Structure 1
Amino acid sequence: MADDNNTPAGGHGVEICLDEVSKRYPGQKLSAVESVTMTIPAGETVVLVGPSGSGKTTTMRMINRLIEPTSGKITIGGQDVLGLDPDKLRREIGYSIQQAGLFPHLTVGENVGVVPGLVGWDKKRIRERVDEMLDLVNLDPGEFRDRYPRQLSGGQQQRVGVARALAANPPVLLMDEPFGAVDPITRGVLQDELMRLQAELGKTIVFVTHDFDEAVKLGDRIAVLGERSKILQYDTPEAILANPADDTVAGFVGAGAALKQLTLRRVREIEVGQVPTATIDESPAVLKERLGTRRGAIGLVLDKRNRPLRWATAREAGAVSRLDRAGRPVEDSVALASTLQDALEAILTDDDGVAVVTGSRGEYVGVVDIDTVMNTIKALREEHAEDEPTEDQS
């Protein structure tokens, strides 16, 4: 499974199969996990969702043998994991947990380089990989490489945790509620980052959460688990939202299933708008001219890497000598991989009712406004109505 030559193909996702996998702890009358059978397709994100105590984390940890199965078979890329050395197995599987789990006495760079060092990479290769991984998770290597975890925000620590999990280019990434300990805004940003990374890297990701909305947003497939990891439904988010298998699954879906369809639509699927822009090193007069005289017109100030920094009107641009002082900061943005639900939340919290859309490296792509999202909701409701059976059909 390991990437021995650091080629991209070496880290592409592989299929994971669980066959009648169970875990029974000594002295316990019932199994913690009972006869789980499922196939996780190569290169997909599969989310295990269920209430606390359902066994979802135990099931995931048996994949890399942090917990040893009592019975059953687990294969990764066709290899029986029970026949592999457990330490070697874990070095070939990325693992990201809540609150990042970083080593506090190591710098960010040393944390990211831990697994490549364990598998024998030389110092030059590790150093290059550390910088590559930090850049991948949108942390400037020059700024963050030599910091310690305590000097980072919760969201930054979680990014480092993901970078460390991906550093040796593993085909499989296990994620145990990795974003559960951060605030809602940061959590949304980290979810967007994960979707962007997955679009680039194509890993096989097993993601544990108790949050069904997070499962719908991130998962190619969702496994809704009941007691002892009994699989109540294993399907695409669209199928589960449209046809919950039973009342328990319907309880997870909750009210507003039609509105949850916004979580299945990505910003990249709609036509984004544009506003006038100017880079930070241009004159305020340039942005003022581009905005013109239209009442309520607003533009964006971009940095030298084309990333959005500030919103400004013509009046605000004309009142300063430098554009880095104009208007107000861009507080929130959404990526092309973000959901329309994310876009709606960003729009509703913005003073002008507009959300900035950014690309894979945070560069400006366009904007989306409330009218665009409302038109999409209307279209989804019409689709939903067409799919509902009539009295004659039921």
Structure 2
Amino acid sequence: MTATEPDHVTSDDHVHGVEIVLDEVVKRYPGQKTAAVGGVSMVIPAGETVVFVGPSGCGKTTTMRMINRLIEPTSGRITIAGRDALSIDPDKLRRGIGYSIQQAGLFPHLTVAKNVATVPGLIGWDRKRIAARVDEMLDLVGLDPDTYRDRYPRQLSGGQQQRVGVARALAADPPVLLMDEPFGAVDPITRGLLQDELLRLQSELGKTIVFVTHDFNEAVKLGDRIAVLGNQSRILQYDTPEAILANPADDTVAGFVGGDASLKQLTLSRVRDVRLMQCPTTQEDGSVDDFRRALHARKRQWGLVLDRRNRPLRWVSPAHLTHAVSLRGVGDPVSELVSVQSTLQDALEALLAESSASTVVTGRRGEYVGLITIDTLVTWLHDLREEHAHDRDEDDEDDEDGEDGEDGEAGDGNHHADGGPGNPEPAP
């Protein structure tokens, strides 16, 4: 499957990413002495997210747009799944590559469904297949099809518009997705949620994603690899986030990393990597008396009410249940959520925003999976420091006797906490 054959795809057989190679790619504009992009060479591995990060005007967006020939290269070669992009009809090439931009770029006169259906319609899918794909894509990005398919972009929030934009970019199941600062125009909280959504989607779909941003923290969170670019898209460093944080190639890269590299380590680990806590839960149509007894039996001051799809709705305490005859509408709304795809940095920010000892963690479809606590993060940082100290000691021993030491064993994130909503207990 190549970037130009999306019409062979079925919704039950998702297309995975393909390798992209840039070989001495140059872009010169008439009348300019210097090239906008001066000879970029890099390999973007199949199925990975590669983030271009650099200052405004450095050429990162121009470089990305040459991949789908929205901007034609002056010289050099770009191959997608081994095929020369210049040998493919530009329209056919673009229909086989997803493209998501800032502020979504939706057609304002078309409904959400028709926006998402744009590329499948262009490549000749029949109406039944398109309708099924639209609903599948909306559900995939966390928008209920029955609620949103007939709305217009002006009836959506900024975050919802961006989700529709991603759904449209993925609708024909392309192997490659280009994303040009797609979350740059939304507020920080929505931006974090959209980033989590992209991580979740990528874990399911395995596309090759080229993502442009000027935000290094976003690059660290999303990228399997980061290309730090200077003027004319000169590659200053191209490596994993861990390697760049640990060893910036020069002062310019170090400037992007900033002075809080150790804190950025929180961005390199996900909530799924630590042991979660648990609290009593019940669905909204459950028994008040049964839930009251569950809280009392486990000596918990808080529990969670979930909807019929096990998504968290409200925190409930015994006091809330004193005169309650139903669990509907009872309790305090859950305001801050993180997902299993969220970083530990996201979790810390959520905990600080709520001034709480615990924050709810949701799974891939928004379902409740547990709680993360301040103790979780404190334990993780402690274990990380112990691991690094152990590694340094072994390195010192290697220097002294010339023998290889064994790798240090990281802490498993086990922890206990008993504060804040939920009075959490360790997950089994």
TM-score tier by shorter-chain length is: over 0.9
For residues 272 and 369 of structure 1, do their structure 2 counterparts lie closer, same or farther at Cα, with a shift above 3 Å needed?
same
Given the alignment of the two structures, is residue 337 of structure 1 paired with residue 360 of structure 2, yes or no?
Answer: no
Aligned residue identity for 2:208: T
Find the aligned partners of 1:327 and 1:10 in 2 and give their Cα distance: 41
**Which residue number in structure 1 is paired with residue 194 of structure 2?**
190
Find the aligned partners of 1:320 and 1:180 in 2 and give their Cα distance: 44
Deviation by residue 1:14-56 (Cα, 9 ceiling, x = unmatched) = 0000000010111111101000000000000000000101100
User: Structure 2: which 5+ runs fail to align?
Assistant: 400-428
**Which residue number in structure 2 is paired with residue 277 of structure 1?**
281
- Identity of matched residues, %: 70
Deviation by residue 1:210-235 (Cα, 9 ceiling, x = unmatched) = 00000000000000000110000000
Aligned residue identity for 1:344: L
**Which residue number in structure 2 is paired with residue 166 of structure 1?**
170
Q: Is the 8 A contact 2:111 2:152 kept in 1?
A: yes
Aligned residue identity for 2:62: T
**Which residue number in structure 2 is paired with residue 4 of structure 1?**
7
Find the aligned partners of 1:184 and 1:386 in 2 and give their Cα distance: 37
Find the aligned partners of 1:146 and 1:27 in 2 and give their Cα distance: 47
SS where residue 163 of structure 2 aligns? helix
Aligned residue identity for 1:115: V
Q: Is the 8 A contact 2:106 2:153 kept in 1?
A: yes
**In structure 2, which of residues 206, 210, 215 is the aligned counterpart of residue 211 of structure 1?**
215
SS where residue 73 of structure 1 aligns? strand
Single out whichever of 318-327 and 190-199 deviates more from structure 2.
318-327
**Which residue number in structure 2 is paired with residue 109 of structure 1?**
113
SS where residue 128 of structure 1 aligns? helix
**Which residue number in structure 1 is paired with residue 364 of structure 2?**
360
The structure 1 segments of at least 4 consecutive aligned residues displaced by more than 4 Å after TM superposition are 293-296, 385-390
SS where residue 115 of structure 2 aligns? helix
Shift of 1:331: 0.8
**In structure 2, which of residues 111, 116, 122 is the aligned counterpart of residue 118 of structure 1?**
122
Single out whichever of 259-268 and 378-387 deviates more from structure 2.
378-387
Shift of 1:168: 0.2
Q: Is the 8 A contact 1:259 1:377 kept in 2?
A: no
**Which residue number in structure 1 is paired with residue 414 of structure 2?**
none
Q: Is the 8 A contact 2:7 2:172 kept in 1?
A: no
Q: Is the 8 A contact 1:108 1:146 kept in 2?
A: yes
SS where residue 103 of structure 2 aligns? coil
Q: Is the 8 A contact 2:16 2:47 kept in 1?
A: yes
Q: Is the 8 A contact 1:22 1:71 kept in 2?
A: yes
Query: Size of the alignment, in residue pairs?
Result: 394
Shift of 1:9: 4.9
Q: Is the 8 A contact 2:49 2:222 kept in 1?
A: yes
Aligned residue identity for 2:264: K
* TM alignment of 1:197-236, pairs within 5 A: 197-236=201-240
* TM alignment of 1:11-50, pairs within 5 A: 11-50=15-54
Aligned residue identity for 2:232: R
Find the aligned partners of 2:61 and 2:110 in 1 and give their Cα distance: 27
Cα RMSD (Å) of the superposition? 1.8
For residues 348 and 324 of structure 1, do their structure 2 counterparts lie closer, same or farther at Cα, with a shift above 3 Å needed?
farther
SS where residue 292 of structure 1 aligns? helix
Deviation by residue 1:264-309 (Cα, 9 ceiling, x = unmatched) = 1111111111000010001322222111177762110000010000
User: Structure 1: which 5+ runs fail to align?
Assistant: none
**Which residue number in structure 1 is paired with residue 145 of structure 2?**
141
Find the aligned partners of 1:229 and 1:384 in 2 and give their Cα distance: 34
For residues 265 and 203 of structure 1, do their structure 2 counterparts lie closer, same or farther at Cα, with a shift above 3 Å needed?
same
Shift of 1:377: 1.3
**In structure 1, which of residues 54, 68, 74 is the aligned counterpart of residue 72 of structure 2?**
68
Q: Is the 8 A contact 2:49 2:223 kept in 1?
A: yes
Shift of 1:387: 5.2
* TM alignment of 1:343-354, pairs within 5 A: 343-354=347-358
Find the aligned partners of 1:162 and 1:317 in 2 and give their Cα distance: 42
Given the alignment of the two structures, is residue 57 of structure 1 paired with residue 65 of structure 2, yes or no?
Answer: no
Q: TM-score with structure 2 length normalisation? A: 0.89
Find the aligned partners of 1:185 and 1:324 in 2 and give their Cα distance: 27
Aligned residue identity for 1:363: E
Find the aligned partners of 1:100 and 1:323 in 2 and give their Cα distance: 38
